[in-house]
Amino acid sequence: MAIYSDNFNRADSTTVGANWTEVADDWSIKSNQLAPGLTTTGVILYNQPLATVDHYAEIAMPVASTTSMGVFARSDLAGNNFYLLRSNGTSWNLFTNISGTFTSIGSYAATLANGDVARIQCVGSTIKAFINGVERIAVTNTAITTGSYTGIRSTQSSTARYDNFTAADVGGVYSSDDAFFDFI
């Protein structure tokens, strides 16, 4: 079982860190937070694989934007195929991305607020979205069955920020109300 995290607490830089691969656009560290690029939709991949395809990825959004802000899971190493949870500022949506074709598979109407924490979890064919620790979307989807990488996707923005990234294999004990208790 693997668990990875990054709080981005380091000097401002256009180099994000050794465990990150900038797939699209030029990401940076600004004021101890991850900032997307300014030219196109950016994708940044945490380049350490999780042990299984059953995992989650979580990110805090301390500075919200009406641009597309999201976190993805069950990605291939190139960042071509993945499940994405993102907000456009007025709603949260789950998508499949297969070779650049995005298909909406679920949604939750709520405004993105500064400090929201988004988590996408993939276990078998069950894909769930949690906003601030509360399950808001759950779907059954078999479009993407492989991939052990996670990351962040964002349209270009001078204001959007990300913080406190975590990705981990799903394991541990579930209570009767599906709350997850991690015994790592």
What is the span of the domain harbouring residue 19? 3-171
Specify if 178 maps to a domain.
Answer: no
Specify if 177 maps to a domain.
Answer: no
In this prediction the pTM is: 0.91
Q: What is the dihedral of CA 24, 29, 161, 171, to 10 degrees?
A: 80
Q: What is the pLDDT of residue 67?
A: 86
Specify if 15 maps to a domain.
Answer: yes
- Residue with structure tokens 């709080």? 7
Please state, in angstroms and rounded to a whole number, the distance separating the CA atoms of residues 137 and 109: 10
What the block records as the tokens of 181 is: 């208790």
Q: What is the pLDDT of residue 1?
A: 87
Q: Encode the chain (184 residues) as per-residue pLDDT tens digits.
A: 899 999 999 999 999 999 999 999 999 999 999 999 999 899 999 999 999 999 999 999 999 888 899 999 999 999 999 999 999 999 999 999 999 999 999 999 999 999 999 999 999 999 999 999 999 999 999 999 999 999 999 999 999 999 999 999 997 443 334 444 444 3
Q: What is the pLDDT of residue 171?
A: 75
Please return the burial class of 183, using the count of CB atoms within 10 Å of its CB with bins 0-12, 13-18 and 19+.
exposed
Number of domains in the chain: 1
Specify if 183 maps to a domain.
Answer: no
Taking alpha carbons only, the member of 95, 69, 178 closest to residue 133 is 178
Query: CATH code at 109?
Result: 2.60.120.560
Specify if 160 maps to a domain.
Answer: yes
Rg (CA), the chain: 15
Specify if 180 maps to a domain.
Answer: no
Specify if 155 maps to a domain.
Answer: yes
Specify if 146 maps to a domain.
Answer: yes
